[in-house]
Amino acid sequence: MSLAPGPDANSALETARTTARRNLWLTLFTFGLASLLLYLALRGVDWKAFLETLRQGRYNLLPLVFLFSSVNYFIRAMRWRVLLSAERPIHPLTVFWANMAGYLGNSFLPARAGELLRTAALSNKTGINASFVLATALTERLLDVIALALISALALLSLPGISSPFASALQGMAALGVVGILVVLLAPHFSSFFLRLLAIFPLPTAWRPRLENLLLRFLDGMRSLQNPGRALSFIALTGIIWLADGLGSMLGAYMLRLQLSLPQALLLLAGMGLSSAIPSTPGYVGVYQFVAVTVLTPFGYSKSDALAYILVAQALNYGVVAFWGLPGLWFSRK
């Protein structure tokens, strides 16, 4: 009897090796990019001024910042619940705990693994099909990207000193945001077209039914916004979330005795949100520092102040996410 592996085993082994190589190269690229961005952010920082900014902070405001951030995370969970309600009503706390488990994953694991974590947590707890849950999670993230494009355009247009070419570019971003909204609203009506489009690609036989199912579920996630009541609730909660995030950023800056206007805060949030789409290290270390320095220094902030602000903001966010996310993992089990 031959002990040599058969063709199926060889194929599986080769696939595993290819996946491992791809993951290795992606990891090296991710850490290399983060290191480069961190170097650019830290280059030329006045460390004495950086430490002085940290030293003079009003840290008695920490409980208020914690409460403000916690409430905003709960509102985010309620927004996700709007999409999930297309399947069936879910208790608000069930969604909150699963959502916080996901944010915990995004903060401490690479490749936005939190999206899969919150999907698994909610699906296991409620029995709702995991593909549908993931579709609503991805739809929520897609709509956030669209919202951030619109917010960044409006925020920059409200700031003084914007050049005409830059203003034109911002108008283009706003137009893309509107197109994105139309795509989300219209795409569910063209499911057969997308299935035919998917059939064109030469995919492994085992992958095709899974991808088709994922596509249909993703469109189902978008279809949940076809209901006017759900769509209006989602839009209203999105506005509240980003306004609260902007005010929270201003409060965090005030805690460090820095003056951050609402348009500047929204622009910074938009930059961080859009930058999270690129491959990044856990917690976006390097990426967020670079974005903060790039966005804030043109408005007169020193590199040391921008760096102090973003490091404190990240530390506070980690604290809030860990405080609610660790119990979220526990409460989201079956």
Please give the full DSSP string across 75-92, using - where no structure is assigned.
HHHHHHHHHHTTT----H
Residue 198: its pLDDT value, please? 82
For residue 184, count other CB atoms closer than 10 A to its CB. 18
Which position has the token pair 């990019």? 33
First to last CA, the chain: 46
pLDDT interval class at 5 (50, 70, 90): low
At residue 171, the pLDDT reads 65
- pLDDT at residue 215 tops 60: yes
- Whether the predicted pLDDT of 1 surpasses 50: no
Using an 8 Å Cβ cutoff, are 59 and 253 in contact? Answer: no
Classified as helix, coil or strand, 31 is helix
pLDDT(208) > 90: no
d(CA 151, CA 155): 6
Task: Map tokens 């850490």 to a residue.
Answer: 31
Quote the DSSP letter at residue 279: -
Higher pLDDT, 61 or 29: 61
- Cβ(90)–Cβ(81) below 8 Å: yes
For residue 111, pLDDT over 60 is answered with yes
What's the rounded Cα separation, in Å, for the pair 293 and 272? 11
Angle at 151 between CA 215 and CA 246, to 5 degrees: 110
Q: How much of the chain, in percent, has pLDDT values that exceed 70? A: 87
Residue 139: the pLDDT is 86
Residue 258: its pLDDT value, please? 95
The whole-number average pLDDT for the span 190-200 is 84
What's the rounded Cα separation, in Å, for the pair 255 and 257?
Answer: 5
**DSSP state letters, 197-238:** HHHHS---TTTHHHHHHHHHHHHHHHHGGGSHHHHHHHHHHH
Q: How do residues 258-278 score in pLDDT, each as one tens digit?
A: 999 999 999 898 888 877 767
Under 8 Å between Cβ of 251 and 64 = yes
- Collapsing DSSP to helix, strand or coil, 304 comes out as helix
pLDDT tens for 239-264 read: 999 999 999 999 999 999 999 999 99
Global pTM value: 0.84
Helices (H) and strands (E) in the chain, counts: 13, 0
Q: What is residue 176's predicted lDDT score, i.e. its pLDDT?
A: 72
Give the mean pLDDT of the chain: 84
